[in-house]
Chain A
Amino acid sequence: MPYALGIDVGGTFTDAVASDGAGRIVSAKTPTTPPNREVGVMKAIEDLAAELGIGVGELLSQTDYIAHGTTASINALVQGEVADVGLIATKGHRDAIYIMNAEGRTLGRSAHEIQDTLRQRKPAPLIPKYRALEVTERVDYTGDVLVPLDEDEVRRVAQTLVDQGVEAIAVCLLWSFKNPAHEQRVRQLIHEIAPELYVTLSSEVSPRIREFSRTSTTIMNAQVGPKLRTYLLPLQKQLEEGGLRGPLLVMQSEGGTITADRAPEHAITTIGSVLSGGVIGGKRLAEQLGHRNVITTDVGGTTFLAGLIVDGEPVMAPGSIVNQFPINAATIRVHTIGSGGGALASVDAGGNLRLGPQSAEAVPGPACYGNGGTRPTNTDANLVLGILSERGLLGGRKPLRMDLAREAIRVHVAEPLGLTVEEAAIAIHEVQNAQAGDLLRRAVVQAGFDPRDFVAYAFGGAGPAHCAGYCQDLGVREVVVPLGPVASAFSAYGLAASDVSLSAELSDPSAFPVDHTVLESHYARLEADLQRALDRQKVKFHDVVLEREVDLRYSMQVTELSTAVPDGTFTERTGDEVLERFEEQYERINGSGSGFREAGVQAITYRMRAKASLGFPVELPRVPRGDGEDPSEALLGQRDVCLDSQAGFVPTPVYDYSLLRAGHVLQGPAIVEVPTTVVVVPGGVTGTVDHLGNLVLRYQGGQPS
């Protein structure tokens, strides 16, 4: 029987999911084992094999592919544990990476932080200036060479860097995305001196206008590439020796995969792999449930992550920001706020209740964990409110300390605000819901959509406890909480269920519409690039779909809008058609009448995406049907829970998720206990178990608008 495996190597846990393509899915969870993470990966595979009742060799020999995501690269960047990199830049322009367009103080910072002007500094430079050197050469905005490359100087500069002991060299020259010849020649010259040295060219890793973010991306790629290589290659070897039949694929931030042997070269494209896994999982679930538009919410200990699926596809972003440095690598757009389950609640000097972005982290954790934390978190509030039980999570090994939770809330929130501990707890709970609701609303509305056309999915440790609250003001139709076999390993499920999606892009800023022959030649080049990339994946593809898009903007705007370019042959009408689509989309986002064609439209970047199915149906299995709507066979008991400041504490039934059956209906208020979380069904909300075991929450009497 063939299998597909998804493995998510997180900071704390390694999650794994195996699917046999015929309705059976098993999952495993084991501790991550840094620095030798492959140990944890092998352990997770052993656990999967045991779940399936077969040997590891047997499992691997029947595995079509392993889709792998890891947080190791992103964590290395965040913590600065990266390779020593040298930079080669165009003469006169080395400092692009230090000047940071003057926005280094604020990139990726929240408005609250930006306002605290005196405390915003640039991040530590990616590399010291003495490892950032210049070479004589100049290309202009059309790609013409104005000053030829000084090859002797390149040799001297490369030798200097090699003598400094760099582990990799990043090459980023001005306008190289229009004409990569100089960068390519620089690599040849470096390899004459140091044949094995890891070299990254900006024209390959990020062929996009704007030298600051391109340089930043190129350097960061060089910083994580060598280490990814030393992790993946032994793992791949070990798996192959263990009999792995198919390839080891690495998930990319944009939701596609890349083979393990090529991943180190494009390391920067893999840093969002785990975040994207959750959205991909949501996409697969949406396909099974027939949902076209979904907001996925994943609430972990420290962060609240939200992704959007529109018309069946995740909403993408052209880049992201890490450590205040920009990364030009297409990614599934994930919106983040620092208010997860461990977000700290505090009262500021002006008597305002604040939640997050600081978190209690894994250590010490919320006060109620009894690990020495004394500051109150969301989790502590939920305990006081009865949402969580003092005996801890179902299957949890540890009881929670109500006394510590109450004390933390009393000292840090209740007394400063003049509230009772219970009132303070409900305030924390509601502020969390309000903040999350704001984030979600902005994510949806800014992308130009109406939340009422969406359903929401909630997973992660803290999502299900809050989702009914944070989705209420949003106006979504319903909220789906997955409770089946992959509930606790949803990201790994997403990995196993991923398609291959690759993209290629080229920048050619010019007035739009351009002649259709220009469109034709650009997309022909991109298609050839993509075909080569697909060929390198070593898997059989089914249903390859190519999509074209172009980033357009009104003349001089800073933000472009990705606009779909029609399939088929190009005609003289194509450019105008694209222009009309752009304007339609623009007005949808910015309001009717906001478009202004008179200002002129410019194209910046052309992009093509290949989407290919791995041909392996990774579907959630059906769960058995109950005898009717009455869920009382799953009733664990009841406790007093406060879900609403007006209603106060109300005796509330508590259910065991494993005994719920398809068709059961829960009338709120109710609590469902799950091994890794609890689901809250507030008063006025109905929870229905669907055919896949998901709990579907619906607001009675419709939604407030």
Chain B
Amino acid sequence: MTSRIPGADEFTSRPMPREELLAQISPSLPLHQIADDHEQVDALTYEVVRHRLWAITQEMGETLRRMSGSHVVTESNDFNFSICDELGEQVQVGTYNIGLIGSMDLAITWTLRNRSDNPGIAEGDMFLCNDPWIGGGLHQNDAAILAPIFHDGKLFGWTTAIAHQVDLGGPRPGSFSPSAQDVFGEAVPTPPMKVVRGGVLQRDIADAWVRRSRLPHLVGLDLRAKIAANKNAGDQILRLITKYGADTVKAVMRRMMNDAERRLRAKLANLPDGTWTAVGYQEQSGTGDRNLHAIKVAMTKEGEKLVFDFRGTTGQTGIINCPYPGLRAGIVFTMLPLLAGDIPWAAGGLMRCFEIVTDEDTITNASFPAAVGKGPFGPAWGAGNLVAEVLARMLDAEPDHRTDVQSICNGTTDLCVVSGVDVRGGASKRFVSPIFDVMAGGYGAQVHHDGVDTGGRLIIPSARAPDVEMTEYLYPLVALWRREQTDSGGPGRQRGGMSGSVCYVQHPDQSGRMSLVVSGNGKVANQNVGLAGGYPGNSQLDLVVRGIDGPQLADVASIPAGLDELGGQVEVLPAEGESDLGPGDALYLHWQAGGGYGDPLLREEDSVGEDVRQARVSAEAARDVYGVVVAEDGEVDADATAATRVRLRQRRATDAGVTGLSTEEISVADLSEARRLDDNLAVVDSTVVCVHCSTRIGPLEGGAFFDSLARRETAPTEAGPHIWHDPSEYVDAEIVFRQLLCPGCLTAVNSRVVPVDHPLPHDDYRAWN
């Protein structure tokens, strides 16, 4: 909160103690509150009201999806909604984009502090907000409607509905500008304004809102959808109050949050205490940049509480910034699915269980007027990936929670906004749309399961990609292919879920050039990391192929099945930048898969054989990465496999400078009494040992054993054919495939593609409860 624009700091919102908040709300706004000890609801009423609140939120989602006109909402479910108490704590949230409710409470508290006096908050009002510093949305494209609920003249609570809008103005179609110097080069952030007054949509405000957009009709339709969803929910909550009384409903709301908090704290209490660290990167801060920008987290878990410490993260720069609400949302959208899948999402209660420590003016806590259009899928998501990683390592060390361990899913979106004028059939229609096929990201592998192939998004549990036919109907494109990409899933004992690729050309009746705005990370320093020695999923890759052999499919007898059959010149699209697509070109997007879990040399050979038969892994990668030899007929050659796996271990040993590797069958000692840290490591008498060969690696205390692991650094492609071969295309830093290995049997315990100066992990497992 150190903006160089005087007055800008008023437009920020941070969690604050209840008393402090109450003191800042105008006394002219009566609040419905119940006494702190008022949790006296019988079990039966509690159940009935709780079920009803749940049903109401479900209905909000259905209303929004049914009414919205925006492709983002209808085809990709990039929206959410919540029911909150009078001070904005969220009692029930939806299962759509969880990031979008991650800081909704902050938007409400800001509104209470700054709108209760003037223009006032009254019955029938609704507020519209898309200011990422205030909360609700994570960037200007996320537009929220906050609707107070009044009963008996008092503010009883709030409902909220929020959705991503494809375009809200700014210099570039899609409101996302890779060359923005600051927020003034992006869409305008709008603090909460009263768009509905006394139940009436304010036409002047609504017009000002849609006027900024290149797609005013869609924005107008979405505005009405969100208002209707809130109206519907508010009416139903009032009906509930009429029947059960306001105090009872409020008591149920409070108990739902307390219950969620209690359950999450109980779960935390059962997990080991310690500090886990992770570092990840944003590649390029904007058009022309060639640097990596680090986000750092150290998560400390003690007793029933989590602290996420982001100090040391890069200072704000370029367009890869998010304000504080975005960082908080990044934690929430990872924590809810990973830690609270079995706890009702009374998010207000869950959010009480963690604290954030951060420097000011960083890429994950940016001050005004930093460019923040990329906030959600850049730094917020990047921070979320790191949170997922440290949570998984903590969970892996507690046997009851190993089923909750998941390697990192696709580490961000692969944004490509296409715009132009559709002239098919003699029409002339402006269009702007991101390519949504990229929603089909791979899920990370789990301890007992492969990752889900083209499974969607962790942070949007109900994510969706459109049918190719819908895309071709709406936009003047033809998809040469859309498929699951063989070898894309992170290799591991459990394989990461595959991602896909799509390749578009212009429709034969289309002419002229379309403009492209691209933004995507994970092109060199993989974000979809594996755990316990599992390898990362594929590098994200976006290309324009210029001057292909069969432009717009004219007079072709065959359809290209891959990049090698397209002809033409490949132009690699940067992490952040702009390009265009001409009639003779093809656009290729290959988004991110999930990371693997465990060492791929330990994967069951029959599973690898089946992967090859089902086109999930190529025979070459099976041999070179998994060490499994699959014959032409699809059968695994057991002898050749055993020999290949030994050879691959020897190669690791040579690279790591380890001598004396035994070629004997690896024997596993009885470690049944030992405490397991993950797939490979266990603790015996405060010493970390390898569960595969019983080698004593080093002391547990302070993470000292990491220094005793063998270390191998090779070219990135050593991790597999799915890793990009030429990092210098994007960044100046030297990039390596780094493996930390058991010095005895050379089993990988940590495998990642990182800049050469990437720090060694230092996980400090302090105590088990």
* Cβ A174 vs Cβ B468 within 8 A: yes
* Cβ A350 vs Cβ B217 within 8 A: no
- Tell me, yes or no, whether A138 is within 8 Å of chain B by CB: yes
* Cβ B217 vs Cβ A352 within 8 A: no
Complex interface residues of chain A between 60 and 100 (CB less than 8 A to chain B): 91-96, 98-100
Q: How far is the CA of A67 from the CA of B689 in the complex (A)?
A: 70
- Tell me, yes or no, whether A54 is within 8 Å of chain B by CB: no
- Tell me, yes or no, whether A56 is within 8 Å of chain B by CB: no
A138 cross-chain contacts in B, Cβ below 8 A: 478, 553, 559
Q: How far is the CA of A99 from the CA of B461 in the complex (A)?
A: 16
* Cβ A596 vs Cβ B262 within 8 A: no
Complex interface residues of chain A between 583 and 634 (CB less than 8 A to chain B): 589-591, 593-594, 596, 598-600
The verdict on A591 contacting B231 (CB below 8 Å), with A92-B481, A417-B43, A431-B48 known, is yes
A209 nearest in chain B by CB position: B469
A91 cross-chain contacts in B, Cβ below 8 A: 481, 559, 561
Q: How far is the CA of A527 from the CA of B198 in the complex (A)?
A: 50
* Cβ B557 vs Cβ A101 within 8 A: no
* Cβ B343 vs Cβ A120 within 8 A: no
Q: How far is the CA of A122 from the CA of B456 in the complex (A)?
A: 10
Q: How far is the CA of A105 from the CA of B465 in the complex (A)?
A: 12
Question: Using an 8 Å CB-CB cutoff, how does the interface string of A101-130 with B read, 1 for contact, 0 for none?
Answer: 111111000010011111111100000111
Instruction: Report which of A95, A117, A438, A590 forms a contact with B55, defined as CB distance below 8 A.
Output: A438
The verdict on A594 contacting B67 (CB below 8 Å), with A122-B452, A350-B262, A558-B74 known, is yes
Q: Which of B56-64, B113-121, B140-148, B283-291 contacts A (4 or more CB under 8 A)?
A: B56-64
* Cβ A92 vs Cβ B74 within 8 A: no
B52 cross-chain contacts in A, Cβ below 8 A: 434, 438
A150 cross-chain contacts in B, Cβ below 8 A: 557-558
* Cβ B344 vs Cβ A92 within 8 A: no
Instruction: Report which of B66, B455, B474 forms a contact with A104, defined as CB distance below 8 A.
Output: B455
Q: How far is the CA of A117 from the CA of B340 in the complex (A)?
A: 9
CB distance from A156 to the nearest CB of B (A): 14
* Cβ B559 vs Cβ A147 within 8 A: yes
B67 cross-chain contacts in A, Cβ below 8 A: 554, 557, 590, 594
- Tell me, yes or no, whether B382 is within 8 Å of chain A by CB: no
- Tell me, yes or no, whether B694 is within 8 Å of chain A by CB: no
A427 cross-chain contacts in B, Cβ below 8 A: 43-44, 47
Instruction: Report which of A117, A417, A430 forms a contact with B461, defined as CB distance below 8 A.
Output: A117
* Cβ B43 vs Cβ A419 within 8 A: yes
Q: How large is the interface on A (under 10, 10 to 19, 20 to 34, 35 or more residues)?
A: 35 or more
CB distance from B558 to the nearest CB of A (A): 5
Instruction: Report which of A106, A119, A142, A554 forms a contact with B341, defined as CB distance below 8 A.
Output: A119
- Tell me, yes or no, whether B221 is within 8 Å of chain A by CB: yes
The verdict on A93 contacting B500 (CB below 8 Å), with A120-B461, A554-B69 known, is no
Q: How far is the CA of A116 from the CA of B336 in the complex (A)?
A: 9
Question: Using an 8 Å CB-CB cutoff, how does the interface string of B153-194 with A read, 1 for contact, 0 for none?
Answer: 000000000000000000000000000000000000000000
Instruction: Report which of B62, B69, B228, B561 forms a contact with A556, defined as CB distance below 8 A.
Output: B69
* Cβ B406 vs Cβ A99 within 8 A: no
- Tell me, yes or no, whether B519 is within 8 Å of chain A by CB: no
- Tell me, yes or no, whether A363 is within 8 Å of chain B by CB: no
* Cβ A599 vs Cβ B561 within 8 A: no
Q: How far is the CA of A585 from the CA of B440 in the complex (A)?
A: 34
- Tell me, yes or no, whether B151 is within 8 Å of chain A by CB: no
Q: How far is the CA of A320 from the CA of B764 in the complex (A)?
A: 51
- Tell me, yes or no, whether A435 is within 8 Å of chain B by CB: yes
- Tell me, yes or no, whether A450 is within 8 Å of chain B by CB: no
* Cβ B341 vs Cβ A426 within 8 A: no
* Cβ A103 vs Cβ B456 within 8 A: yes
A99 nearest in chain B by CB position: B454
B404 nearest in chain A by CB position: A118
A117 cross-chain contacts in B, Cβ below 8 A: 337-338, 341, 458, 461
* Cβ A599 vs Cβ B553 within 8 A: no
CB distance from A357 to the nearest CB of B (A): 13
Q: Looking at A92, A99, A559, A600, which has the most chain B CB atoms within 10 Å of its CB?
A: A99
* Cβ A118 vs Cβ B446 within 8 A: yes
CB distance from B263 to the nearest CB of A (A): 5
A589 cross-chain contacts in B, Cβ below 8 A: 66
Complex interface residues of chain B between 439 and 465 (CB less than 8 A to chain A): 439-441, 446, 449, 452-458, 461-465
* Cβ B47 vs Cβ A352 within 8 A: yes
Q: How far is the CA of A175 from the CA of B455 in the complex (A)?
A: 25
Instruction: Report which of B468, B508, B558 forms a contact with A96, defined as CB distance below 8 A.
Output: B468
B231 nearest in chain A by CB position: A591
- Tell me, yes or no, whether A566 is within 8 Å of chain B by CB: no
* Cβ A557 vs Cβ B68 within 8 A: yes
A212 cross-chain contacts in B, Cβ below 8 A: 467
A536 cross-chain contacts in B, Cβ below 8 A: none
A701 cross-chain contacts in B, Cβ below 8 A: none
* Cβ A352 vs Cβ B507 within 8 A: no
* Cβ A599 vs Cβ B220 within 8 A: yes
Q: How far is the CA of A355 from the CA of B58 in the complex (A)?
A: 18
A555 cross-chain contacts in B, Cβ below 8 A: 69, 217-218
- Tell me, yes or no, whether A140 is within 8 Å of chain B by CB: yes
Q: Looking at B47, B54, B337, B344, which has the most chain A CB atoms within 10 Å of its CB?
A: B47
* Cβ B224 vs Cβ A94 within 8 A: no
The verdict on A442 contacting B467 (CB below 8 Å), with A138-B559, A554-B69 known, is no
* Cβ A431 vs Cβ B474 within 8 A: no
The verdict on A96 contacting B54 (CB below 8 Å), with A103-B463, A419-B43, A556-B71 known, is no
Question: Using an 8 Å CB-CB cutoff, how does the interface string of A543-562 with B read, 1 for contact, 0 for none?
Answer: 00000000000111111000
Question: Using an 8 Å CB-CB cutoff, how does the interface string of B727-756 with A read, 1 for contact, 0 for none?
Answer: 000000000000000000000000000000
Complex interface residues of chain B between 10 and 45 (CB less than 8 A to chain A): 43-44
B761 cross-chain contacts in A, Cβ below 8 A: none
- Tell me, yes or no, whether A160 is within 8 Å of chain B by CB: no
CB distance from B716 to the nearest CB of A (A): 27
Q: Looking at A104, A115, A140, A426, which has the most chain B CB atoms within 10 Å of its CB?
A: A115
The verdict on A111 contacting B54 (CB below 8 Å), with A93-B479, A140-B478, A211-B468 known, is yes
- Tell me, yes or no, whether A351 is within 8 Å of chain B by CB: yes
A111 cross-chain contacts in B, Cβ below 8 A: 54, 58, 94-95
A600 nearest in chain B by CB position: B217
Q: How far is the CA of A593 from the CA of B221 in the complex (A)?
A: 11
Q: How far is the CA of A321 from the CA of B232 in the complex (A)?
A: 27
- Tell me, yes or no, whether B482 is within 8 Å of chain A by CB: yes
* Cβ A99 vs Cβ B51 within 8 A: no
B210 nearest in chain A by CB position: A598
Q: How far is the CA of A600 from the CA of B481 in the complex (A)?
A: 30
- Tell me, yes or no, whether A2 is within 8 Å of chain B by CB: no
The verdict on A102 contacting B43 (CB below 8 Å), with A121-B449, A591-B228 known, is no
A598 nearest in chain B by CB position: B217
CB distance from B753 to the nearest CB of A (A): 25
Complex interface residues of chain B between 259 and 308 (CB less than 8 A to chain A): 259-260, 262-263, 266
B759 cross-chain contacts in A, Cβ below 8 A: none
The verdict on A92 contacting B480 (CB below 8 Å), with A120-B461, A554-B221 known, is yes
CB distance from A49 to the nearest CB of B (A): 48
B interface, CB within 8 angstroms of A: 43-44, 46-48, 50-52, 54-55, 58-59, 62-63, 65-71, 73-75, 94-95, 201, 217-218, 220-221, 224-225, 228, 231-232, 243, 259-260, 262-263, 266, 337-338, 341-345, 403-404, 406, 425, 439-441, 446, 449, 452-458, 461-470, 472-474, 478-484, 500, 503, 507-508, 553, 556-559, 561, 613-615
- 29 A-B residue pairs with CB within 8 Å: A92-B559, A93-B468, A93-B481, A96-B467, A101-B440, A101-B464, A102-B457, A106-B462, A114-B95, A115-B345, A116-B342, A117-B458, A120-B452, A121-B449, A128-B613, A129-B615, A130-B614, A146-B508, A174-B469, A348-B342, A438-B51, A442-B59, A557-B67, A557-B69, A558-B65, A558-B73, A593-B201, A593-B224, A645-B44
A102-B457, A426-B44 known; 8 new pairs, CB 8 Å cut-off, are: A93-B482, A147-B556, A147-B558, A349-B266, A350-B259, A350-B260, A431-B44, A594-B67
4 closest residue pairs by CB, A with B: A92-B481, A558-B74, A117-B337, A102-B440
